[in-house]
């Protein structure tokens, strides 16, 4: 009997993760029907529509166009819109991804209507409750029936919280995506030529997390360190619209003069840059892993990470928002050969296949 799922997405990382599962769903139209709901959390075309096009994700049946405002207002408006859709569609499952406000709204709407929730990237913990993402992922896990973990560590974190039923270590859907698109991106993208860059001749940076952007002192340390690094190595900064706004508000825009600043990039261009960079500096969880997948050293401008395996492997270093630590880590990466631990913790590239098998009642066929 065919199952109907409603998939909730709203931000760039979720579009990428959903691509892997949606592509697998399309192979089995007799087993499962997917209804895609875009909350509108990322409203810029470069951060939403272009990803649906490039990643071959089915066009959303619904777009709630909810963006901007505080966490409570945004989540509440999403919750109201998702609830109406779930009452109309009557799905067998609601599928959520990651740790955004869209994730939490989807989880709460489904749980209150007694619709089973399946959470992709369950069990991740940074152990920093000041992060909105940490609150979202913990609450989403609490109400989920099926918890799809990307690593053994995520399974263990859930067990420590008393959650063992419905837990599956399927591997990381982001690795599925990396395997599928890495060669395509190298061949299709012309971003290096457009920006005048050479292979392994530049650094790639992103900065968007509220813990960094909303604190003028942290933001100045980060953007100042990137500007100083650009005196010796070209630094490409893919600048989130909200970060740009806050740089202007805090009077820090002058630091951008030394950087190669680009708007949020289409997926293929971003993957091409990630693979070609000598080093990546970021506060993004997804970009940390993509650096790991592509064998590029990563400097994470946060005090902690939910992707602890990348740090334990020696491929990622945490430096917080400290200009001195950022500079020291960058110097070390560029002058010493990084030795990566031989263990790969993120599965076999078949996470989407395993997720679909669980949702359709055939988990033993792949797990």
| SS3 letters across the chain | CCEEEEEEECCHHHHHHHHHHHHHHCCCCCCEEEEEEECCCCCCHHHCHHHHHHCCCCCCCEECCCCCCCHHHHHHHHHHHHHHHHHHHCCCEEEEECCCHHHHHHHHHHHHCCCCEEEECCCCCCCCCCCHHHHHHHHHHHHCCEEEECCHHHHHHHHHCCCCCCEEECCCHHHHHHHHHHHHHHHHCCHHHHHCCCCCCCEEEECCCHHHHCCHHHHHHHHHHHHHHCCCCCEEEECCHHHHHHHHHCCCHHHHHHCEEECCCCHHHHHHHHHHCCEEEECCHHHHHHHHHCCCCEEECCCCCCCHHHHHCCCEEECCCCHHHHHHHHHHHHHCCCCCCCCCCCCCCCHHHHHHHHHCCCHHHCC
Q: In this predicted model, what pLDDT tens digit does every residue of 328-350 receive, in sequence order?
A: 999 999 998 777 666 789 999 99
Give the phi and the psi of residue 102 in degrees, each rounded to 5. -65, -40
**Over residues 257-279, mean pLDDT:** 95
Mean model confidence pLDDT for the chain: 93
pTM equals 0.91
Task: Say what the pLDDT of residue 45 is.
Answer: 56
**Over residues 277-302, mean pLDDT:** 96
Q: In this predicted model, what pLDDT tens digit does every residue of 272-285 receive, in sequence order?
A: 999 999 999 999 99
Tokens of 340: 């990566």
Task: Say what the pLDDT of residue 366 is.
Answer: 55
Query: Residue 12's closest CA among 95, 139, 137, 97?
Result: 97
CA angle 259, 260, 264 (to 5 degrees): 115
Task: Say what the pLDDT of residue 125 is.
Answer: 96
Give the phi and the psi of residue 311 in degrees, each rounded to 5. -75, -45
Higher pLDDT, 49 or 152: 152
Task: With a cut of 90, say whether residue 1 has pLDDT above it.
Answer: no
Q: Which residues of 350-367 are buried (b: 16+ CB within 10 A; e: fewer)?
A: bbbbbbbbbbbeebeeee
**Domains, the chain, with CATH or none:** 3-172+347-365 (3.40.50.2000), 179-335 (3.40.50.2000)
Query: Residue 302's closest CA among 101, 104, 131?
Result: 131
Q: In this predicted model, what pLDDT tens digit does every residue of 39-93 receive, in sequence order?
A: 987 655 554 566 677 887 777 899 998 877 888 999 999 999 999 999 999 999 9
Q: In this predicted model, what pLDDT tens digit does every residue of 17-41 receive, in sequence order?
A: 999 999 999 999 998 999 999 998 7
Task: Say what the pLDDT of residue 336 is.
Answer: 87
List, by residue number, the catalytic residues: 208
Task: Say what the pLDDT of residue 68 is.
Answer: 77
Give the phi and the psi of residue 267 in degrees, each rounded to 5. -55, -50
**Over residues 175-188, mean pLDDT:** 94
Q: How would you classify residue 123: left for phi > 0, otherwise alpha for psi between -120 and 50, otherwise beta?
A: left
Query: Residue 344's closest CA among 315, 304, 305?
Result: 315
**Over residues 208-214, mean pLDDT:** 93
């Amino acid at each position: 009997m065919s199952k109907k799922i409603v998939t909730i997405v709203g931000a760039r990382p979720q579009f990428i993760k959903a691509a892997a599962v949606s592509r697998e769903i399309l192979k089995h139209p007799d087993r499962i029907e997917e209804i895609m709901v875009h909350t509108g959390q990322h409203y810029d075309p470069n951060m939403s529509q272009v990803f649906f096009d490039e990643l071959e994700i089915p066009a959303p049946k619904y777009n709630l166009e909810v963006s901007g405002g505080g966490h409570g207002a945004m989540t509440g408006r999403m919750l109201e819109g998702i609830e109406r859709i779930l009452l109309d569609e009557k799905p067998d499952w609601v599928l959520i991804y990651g740790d955004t406000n869209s994730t939490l709204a989807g989880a709460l709407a489904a749980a209150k209507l007694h619709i089973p929730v399946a959470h992709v990237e369950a069990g991740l913990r940074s152990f920093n409750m000041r992060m909105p993402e940490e609150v979202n992922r913990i609450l989403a896990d609490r109400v989920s029936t099926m918890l799809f973990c990307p690593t053994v560590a995520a399974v263990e974190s859930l067990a420590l919280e008393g959650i063992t039923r419905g837990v599956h270590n399927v591997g990381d859907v982001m690795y599925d995506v990396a395997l599928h698109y890495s060669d395509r991106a190298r061949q299709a993208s012309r971003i290096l030529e457009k920006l005048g860059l050479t292979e392994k001749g530049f650094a790639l940076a992103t900065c968007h997390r509220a813990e960094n952007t909303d604190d003028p002192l942290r933001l100045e340390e980060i953007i100042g360190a990137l500007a100083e690094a650009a005196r010796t190595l070209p630094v490409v900064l893919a600048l989130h619209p909200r970060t740009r706004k806050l740089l202007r508000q805090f009077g820090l825009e002058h630091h951008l003069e030394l950087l190669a600043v680009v708007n949020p990039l289409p997926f293929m261009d971003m993957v091409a840059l990630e693979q070609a960079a000598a080093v990546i500096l970021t506060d993004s969880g997804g970009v940390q892993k993509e650096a790991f997948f592509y064998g590029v050293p990563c400097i994470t401008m946060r005090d902690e990470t939910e992707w602890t395996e990348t740090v334990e492997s020696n491929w990622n270093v945490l430096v917080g928002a400290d200009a001195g630590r950022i500079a020291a880590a960058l110097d070390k990466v560029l002058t010493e050969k990084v030795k990566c631990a031989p263990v790969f913790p993120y599965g076999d590239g078949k996470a989407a296949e395993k997720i679909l098998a669980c949702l359709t009642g055939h988990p033993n066929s792949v797990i």
